[in-house]
Amino acid sequence: MPDTPRDAYRDTLTHVDEHGDVRMVDVSEKDVTQRVALAEGSILMHPETQAMVLEDRAKKGDVLACARVAGIMACKRTSELIPMCHPLNITKSKVQIEAIPANGAGARPDGRVGFHVLVTTGVTGKTGIEMEALTGASVACLTIYDMCKAVDRGMEIVDVRLLRKEGGRSGVWVRGGAASEEASAPAPASDAGSPSVAGPAPAIAFIGYQNAGKTTLVEKVIAELTARGHRVGSIKHHGHKGFDIDQTGKDSWRHAQAGSRHVGLVSPTGYAEYASTETELPLNCMLDRFTDVDVVVVEGYKSAGLPNVVVARSGVDRLRNQSSLDLVGDATVALACNDALAARANLSVPTVDINDAAAVADVVEGWLKRRVQ
């Protein structure tokens, strides 16, 4: 049998020691990061049972209110139920419950009705919070069952699963094809006036040849947009084989330090989650993952045709002897360069000082606002 690629983060079962004994994992050396998890579950029932709940006719009281509270309590007490879970100082626990209709938007293919539970948990700590989200979803569904079992013992709890996790060394994980209210609903506009996002966020590229100053400018623009209240994601493109992610001083690390909450890294043979690929991951596949931000700042991808800011520090790529000015085209929003280069550029696109991150951020904000007008 041929060897199959292995995930570097799952080569060993961390809850089992070298003797095969279970243990609580030592997380003392892990970094403290912001961690978020999103889990769901559904409980299916007879239509009359659903109607009873929606009309508040259950003898035990308000079924959905009780289930929401139960889900929150379960998130907070997960370590008392799952033996190897660490006690966590949870910073967020949100339980949403929606009716599953027989037809129309949100309906199941089999037409069965009931309630869909969505749980979001958050913590700033050294270990993840997925189990808390899953436990909350499970207990919320079980509470609905308990409140309604007198009239419908045939109810079924199904599809309890993790939809998304953020934070820690492994970064962002999203279940393929998962659809949920929080994952797909439009994000609220920030106070800075960025548009709401439904599905993948809008993306603008910063392009230029090597040594044009892209990374330095992107780093500053991420920090500026983040300071203005925007949720910023970023993608770094490596034109060469291989890369290191989250290594101190590397570009992806610099993006995260500047405030990017969702960093993607792509090379011809892999992408940020370290999944082996035979061919380079298409940019649109990467962008499809960025549903949790207001704008994606893409570094590189000159040929992708994205709206772009051309970055030119000296104008000429020392390795290729090509001018970054040649990259200005119909998709260019602005040229970021120094005063001397701007004076001789004689181009139809606006120019902005490459050293003025606030001015470049203004360009990005203006582009965002024009998209929704």
Rounded Cα–Cα distance for residues 48 and 88 (Å) = 40
Q: Which CA distances in Å does 130 have to 30, 127, 152, 164?
A: 17, 9, 30, 9
**Which tokens belong to 233?**
């994601």
**Is 138 within 8 Å of 41 (Cβ atoms)?**
yes
117 φ, ψ (degrees, to nearest 5):
-110, 135
Q: Are strands 33-45 and 156-166 parallel, antiparallel or unpaired?
A: antiparallel
Rounded Cα–Cα distance for residues 160 and 39 (Å) = 7
**Which tokens belong to 185?**
């609903």
326 is catalytic: no
Tally Cβ neighbours within 10 Å of residue 59. Answer: 9
Question: Which among 21, 31, 146, 159 is annotated as catalytic?
Answer: 146
CA dihedral angle for residue 304, residue 307, residue 313, residue 317, rounded to 10 degrees: 20
Rounded Cα–Cα distance for residues 298 and 266 (Å) = 11
**Is 353 within 8 Å of 339 (Cβ atoms)?**
yes
Please report the DSSP string for 104-171 in residue order: STT--TT--EEEEEEEEEEEEESS--HHHHHHHHHHHHHHHHHHHTTT-TT-EEEEEEEEEEE-STT-
Rounded Cα–Cα distance for residues 181 and 345 (Å) = 48
Residues serving a catalytic function are 146
